[in-house]
Amino acid sequence: MILLLMLVFVLGTIICVVATIIGYAAPDKPVGRKRRWFLATLLGLAVAYMLALGLICLDPYYDDNGAREAMVFPQHLFWALDLASLLQLLTVPLGLWLRSVVGRRLDKRAEPSAGGNAAPPRASA
């Protein structure tokens, strides 16, 4: 199961990088209009990997049949990928949710007010 999650993590990262590059290269294409969603997903995956790498570097040891073994640096990267594949289940939906909230707020600010500086309507008695 964890290998499947790791595969999803790696393939998701590759797809998001390619889609973001295509989106910025061709903004009028359908992928270009969705580039912010791909970028939010990519940022969620990056945050998951950075959190995992930080957690692994805090305690770079593992138990091997009861003996405490130190990891060499390339092992840090693989173990971080293993942990990031689990963390992506939290960070990617959180990143997409934040993107939708920020996007709605920016859309509300960008809407022009009807009537310019007109006075608010009066309540009829």
CB burial string 91-115: b at 16+ within 10 A, e below: bbeebeeebeeeeeeeeeeeeeeee
Instruction: Say if pTM beats, i.e. exceeds, 0.75.
Output: no
φ, ψ of residue 68 to 5 degrees: the values are: -85, 115
Tokens in use for 45? 């995956």
Check if the beta carbon of residue 36 is closer than 8 Å to that of residue 116. Answer: no
Give 25's pLDDT tier (boundaries 50, 70, 90).
Answer: confident
Q: How confident is the model at residue 42, as a pLDDT? A: 86
- Is residue 91 within 8 A of residue 44, CB to CB? The reply is yes
